[in-house]
Amino acid sequence: MTSPPDAFPYLRASTAGLRHHSRALNAERPTAPRAADRAHLDTLHAHLTALHKLLDQCAEQIRPPHPTAGRHLAAAHTRIWQATAEVHDAFHTLPSTPGTTGSDCDPKGLPEGPPVLTICQRHLAAGHAIRRKTTPADLTPLHGHPTRAS
């Protein structure tokens, strides 16, 4: 069964936006957005965090009537968290803006200001949410090194 063409318009627009952005990056035109700066990773992190929340909601709704499908969505939820954590870590490895100091997230004293404050707050909130539903073993990425849930 397929969805009617007008179903999920915002989700379809988000997907189209990602495809457009990816094509613009691949075009290597001078007007293409730069991919390797902190603002870009902050925006990508926001997208992944929203997708993470959506997958969690879908898994919760599908799990009772269809447990196997719910487990698959729960696994996808975990993998999206891993991707989100890697983007967050990449953000912190990029040079900080001039006049500020780059540092890891610290819930007691978040570094710099926007966008660091934004990405760190978002990441800490998502980390709290995933720790309520996931074990540390589940959060270990496939490539072997542990992903921080902070």
Dump pLDDT digits (tens) for 26-71.
776 666 556 678 888 888 999 999 999 999 999 999 999 999 999 9
* Cα distance between residue 54 and residue 125, in whole Å: 15
| Mean model confidence pLDDT for the chain | 78
Length of the chain: 150
Determine the longest span between alpha carbons in the chain, in angstroms. Answer: 55
Q: Exposed, middle or buried by CB within 10 Å (0-12, 13-18, 19+), for 48?
A: buried
* Rounded Cα gap, residues 60 and 74, in angstroms: 8
Report yes or no: 24 and 33 within 8 Å, Cβ to Cβ.
yes
Contact status, residue 84 vs residue 123, Cβ threshold 8 Å: yes
Residue 118 — very low, low, confident or very high, per pLDDT cuts 50/70/90? Answer: confident
3-state secondary structure of 148: coil
Among 78, 80, 88, CA closest to 120: 88
* Residue 86 in this model has a pLDDT that exceeds 90: yes
* DSSP tag of 147: P
Alpha carbons 65 and 61: distance in angstroms, whole number: 8
In whole angstroms, what is the distance from residue 19 CA to residue 6 CA?
A: 19
CB burial of residue 97 (10 Å; 0-12, 13-18, 19+): middle
